[in-house]
Structure 1
Amino acid sequence: MSSTSADGQSVVVTQSAADKALDLLSGEGLDTDVAGLRLFVQQGGCAGLSYGMRFDNEPEDGDTVSEHHGLRVFVDSASERYVHGSTLDFEDGLQGAGFHVENPNAESECGCGESFRT
């Protein structure tokens, strides 16, 4: 398992995203001191690649692990190159609520913002 420093974090997580994820983690009965949010990239979506998120009980070997506002975030080495420098936010508005990844590495995104191309 590798980790990043506060200066070189792979992904930045906003306070609102961390608060929402921690609420959801606690609601699942997971220990927020060990468990965390896994952010990953997979093939799919109309632009070729899509983001995925899930809760994991602990990081896996080779993961980049960072902590943001009390939330642990796990990124596997294959996804790291796609999401490095991204910001994870949680938006709650009239159009609905959800997590959103602002990715400076994406050359283009589909209209719904769920998939991207580098």
Structure 2
Amino acid sequence: MAPSRVDRPAINRARKLRRAMTGGEKKLWSKLKEFRTAYGIHVRKQVPIGPYVADFAIHASRLIIEVDGERHEDVEQKAHDLKRDAWFAEAGYRTLRFSTGTLAEHFDGCIETIIKELGAIQ
């Protein structure tokens, strides 16, 4: 469940992550920030939500978009991702995950998936 107070450590992590975005995150952000003018959808990057920091969030649609690099193949990291996704779901968010490989090879398809998901929500 979403906390009623601000999680200061998550805010500090988000600030650091905004300055150190990965190549995949930067590429996706370059497109997602256009959603505001193209569709009237406000996307935020490296967003503190409760104790976690989502790569991207669209609060109005309760959608989180995560970019998973190679470290997300690790068993412990996968377990952590499942825990995060469950927490986000309990807080009312849906999570879309894209690997950096999928973003690199099928970028337009990833954008289409996001747009379809937004259409299904709204």
Please give the TM-score of this superposition, normalised by the length of structure 1: 0.30
Which one has the bigger helix percentage? 2
Please give the TM-score of this superposition, normalised by the length of structure 2: 0.29
Higher relative contact order (CA 8 A, sep 6+): 1
